[in-house]
Amino acid sequence: MDYLPFNERQKKRLATQVKDMIVSTVYGGVAVAVIQGILGGIAFYFAGISSPVIWGIAMSIMSFVPFLGSFSIWGPNSLYLMIQGNYIEGVGLFLFGVFVISMVDNILKPLIIGTRTKMPTIIIFFSVLGGIKFLGLIGLIMGPLILAVFLSVFEIFRNVEEVAEPPVNMQ
């Protein structure tokens, strides 16, 4: 903090915004994992899959893995049901997974992060996706964090009062 070229008020504001972004990203990830696990467990119960609680917990854990996420649990289970001849349950689980379980991650996480940081949801959504794409799992936190630092520094520079030199009198 001592090496930042800002005054103390600006440094505190930058630190607060970075802290808020980290906390909200972690809370958002955990909240989404829990909700996906609960929804998955309920879906597995109604699909007739044994041990729906265990599968729900597995789905919660896997929801932190980029790209695969909770699909790595409900996808093979829906395929298993269809292979066993339970087409209605298998297709139902697949549709529920696509339109409910997966959408929780795409909608709820940006809402949770954006509400705490007071940033637009669409910007948070793309920072999470971009962070995961370029940095992998750590991009889940680093994408929004980089965005928060960029926007904070941009805002600081936008509000810097320019100290103008007095006009030179050329007489």
Three-class SS of 54-71: HHHHHHHHHCCCCCCCCH
Confidence band for 164, pLDDT divided at 50, 70 and 90: very low
For the cut 80, the answer to whether the pLDDT of residue 140 exceeds it is no
| Stretch 74-87: mean pLDDT | 96
* Residue ranges covered by each domain of the chain: 20-155
pLDDT the model gives residue 119: 76
Judged on CB neighbours under 10 Å (0-12, 13-18, 19+), 9 is exposed
Taking the C-alpha atoms of residue 95 and residue 167, their distance in angstroms, rounded to an integer, is 70
Write down the residue that tokens 């750590």 correspond to. Answer: 138
Higher-pLDDT residue of 26, 34: 34
Taking the C-alpha atoms of residue 140 and residue 64, their distance in angstroms, rounded to an integer, is 9
Q: pTM of the entire structure?
A: 0.73
| Stretch 130-146: mean pLDDT | 83
pLDDT the model gives residue 39: 96
Give the percent of the chain with pLDDT over 70.
92
Task: List C-alpha distances in Å: 99 to 115, 164, 166.
Answer: 23, 57, 63
Among candidates 1, 64, 5, 10, which has minimal Cα distance to 37?
Answer: 64
